[in-house]
Amino acid sequence: MPLTVQQSLLDLDEPIEFAPLRVERHHLRFGAWVDIQPGWLSGADRVFDEIRAAVPWHAERRQMYDTVVDVPRLTTFYGSDEPLPSPLLTQARDLLSAHYRGELGEDFTSAGLCLYRDGKDSVAWHGDRIGRGATHDTMVAILSLGSPRVLALRPRGGGQTALRLPLGHGDLAVMGGSCQRTWEHAIPKTAKPVGPRISVQFRPRGVR
């Protein structure tokens, strides 16, 4: 069955372009923060269709206890030296690098993409701690395309969810400071009827 995203009537009339970066920073504990800019990319629902068609999506499986289970989302990854599947994603990466270079000290170079097909697709609590993210402050920038899904954040080790951000339709979220080391994030499952969403995660070299 083909995936369909409910397009906003406003989105159909909007040009496909990025707004100037004017993020709002939310300070968390332990030196972590999250920047938010709703609707950074206008015309994002049309971009969703382009990216979904251009990307070679992979269905992964993983070991869980004594059995192998399907990963509840489709994924793909573009390393630092690989061309991205759309000029718009290259532009997004370059704009983010220019904006955050002074604070990050380097550029965003890789892009991981996840396709959440419906409310049953999800990602469990985790931090991006493969590589330098385990020991150093870093940033992960997320561009959301398609229907909104909640990005939840909580302190590492469990406890109450501190922040729930519904991201979709061209929204931008950037997790920075110690966020990957001291906090966890997730896309929870939902029983509500939701359309598909693509998450594009830009990272600097050596962070996964």
- pLDDT tens digits, one per residue of 94-111: 999 999 999 999 999 999
206 vs 76, residue with greater confidence: 76
The neighbouring-strand residues paired with 37 are 172
Q: Which two tokens stand for residue 21?
A: 């970066």
Per-domain residue ranges of the chain: 22-204
Here the contacts of 2-9 (C-beta below 8 Å, separation 24 or greater) are: 3/52, 3/115, 3/117, 3/195, 3/196, 4/195, 4/196, 5/45, 5/48, 5/49, 5/146, 5/147, 5/195, 5/196, 5/197, 6/147, 6/195, 7/45, 7/46, 8/45, 8/169
pLDDT one-digit tens code per residue, 27-65: 999 999 999 999 999 999 999 999 999 999 999 877 666
pLDDT at 204 over 60: yes
DSSP string, 90-154: HHHHHHHHHHHHHHHSS-EEEEEEEEE-STT--EEEE---SBGGGTS---EEEEEEES-EEEEEE
Q: C-alpha 189: how far from its chain's center?
A: 16
Q: Which two tokens stand for residue 188?
A: 């929870």
Distance from C-alpha of 136 to C-alpha of 111, rounded to nearest angstrom: 19
183 vs 61, residue with greater confidence: 183
Per-residue model confidence (pLDDT) at position 11: 57
pLDDT at 207 over 60: yes
One of 2.30.30.360, 3.40.630.30, 3.90.700.10, 2.60.120.590 is the CATH number of 22-204, namely 2.60.120.590
Across 11-17, average pLDDT? 80
The neighbouring-strand residues paired with 24 are 36
